[in-house]
Amino acid sequence: MIELLQKVRVIDPVSEIDELFDVLIADGYIREVASHISDISSDTQIKDCQGLVLGPGLVDLYSHSGEPGFEERETLLSFLQAAAAGGFTRVSILPDTSPVIDNPALVALQHKRAEGQRDRGTEGQRGRGAEKSLSPLLHIWGAITVDVAGKQMTELADLASAGVVGFTDGKPLENLALVRRVLEYLQPLGKPVAFWPSDRQLTANGVMREGTNALRFGLPPIPTSAETTAIAAMLELVATIGTPVHIMRVSTARSVELIASAKAAGLPITASTTWMHLLLDTKAVKSYHSSLHLDPPLGNPSDMAALRTGVRAGVIDAIAIDHTPYSYEEKVQAFAEAPPGAIGLELALPLLWQYLVETEEFTALELWRALSTNPAECLGEKVSAIVPHQPAELTLFDPQQTWKVERKSLYTLSQNTPWLGQQLQGHVVQIWC
């Protein structure tokens, strides 16, 4: 297939370009990028892309798939469809399935499941979104520990050989002796390792960030120190051992300060926050919507402002989606009783663009970098520039098209989002993988 995208706004963080171009794509490769392309074959499909945005494919650092074990929440098929509809060409799933992905056989089985889902094609699909016959590249995180108590390491070298993208449990590891051993063992493997620093003793039964709003809403608070003390301990281990580490789910202003200082000192760390922590703060919890119960919790207004500044400055390298589907029955509970988490693969780009780029708080390049090239680098990968002879791994986005968030418009099987029933502006038109 040969496609000519005319007058499309090309946003390329690799080349630092934000300009209008014609882009010719043929047989999965970018053939030409120019201000005007007229020399085309008769079978070229011409698309008028005025007002549309073309950027490198989006990359998600970590999200949850229900399969295996929780298929009522999400299957691999619905997960990949939702990712494609949201503009993602690479997605990475956490190992906290049932069973946990802690050995090579389960890694191979998960890849086989994903291939089987792709082979099912698009028959019977519902909803909206990008070209559904194309499926994002699926990365799998390997588990660090094999038991619930988190005291025994997996066979890290075997998992690395099985093709995991990196290692994480996706949950706090409070056994610092184990963390130290993991960092020592992983040094020669050359795979990313991601930790979620959180002191669960300080978190206790809290469900909301400590502050005036927690008092006002009568919800058990979580102190900032539950995150910052764990980050400080992690940074000390990295400084001692030297193994590169990715810090997940950063949610407080003080955490941004600690990470900035560590980077200035030359520590080999990267960091991410989630998209919802950039858009909402504790004021939103006034609704007691159970999809606003997150872990870590939404920050106070000063936390949200610091996270936005941190992303723009590069202190926070990437925006993760942390898509966490739950069934209706699981989420239809009181705020504190509902399991924490919300969906996001199909919602993140439209909402981030609407509230950060349209308001001119972020440039389009800053947002796209945090959603594409930087997450890839955190995984030890690269994203190609939008230039001739490069593979076409691209996302075409219409920032003005509106759509309603409802069951029939979503590919994900779950609807645990505070935006359910609302009209959004911004729609992914197509992806190339």
Quick one: tokens of 2? 């040969």
Asked if 428 and 397 count as a contact pair (C-beta separation under 8 A), the reply is yes
| Of 12, 199, 322, 398, catalytic | 322
- Does the annotation count 322 as an active-site position? yes
**Separation between Cα atoms, residue 256 and residue 312, nearest integer Å:** 12
What phi and psi values does residue 299 have, to the nearest 5 degrees? -85, 170
Q: How far is CA 109 from CA 22, 102, 301, 325, in A?
A: 42, 12, 43, 21
Pairing relationship of beta strands 53-56 and 394-404 according to DSSP bridges? antiparallel
**Separation between Cα atoms, residue 330 and residue 29, nearest integer Å:** 44
Sign of CA dihedral 211, 217, 220, 222: negative
Quick one: tokens of 341? 């988490």
Contacts of 62 (CB under 8 A, 6+ apart): 92, 93, 94, 141, 168, 170, 194, 248, 320, 321, 322
- Cite the active site residues: 322
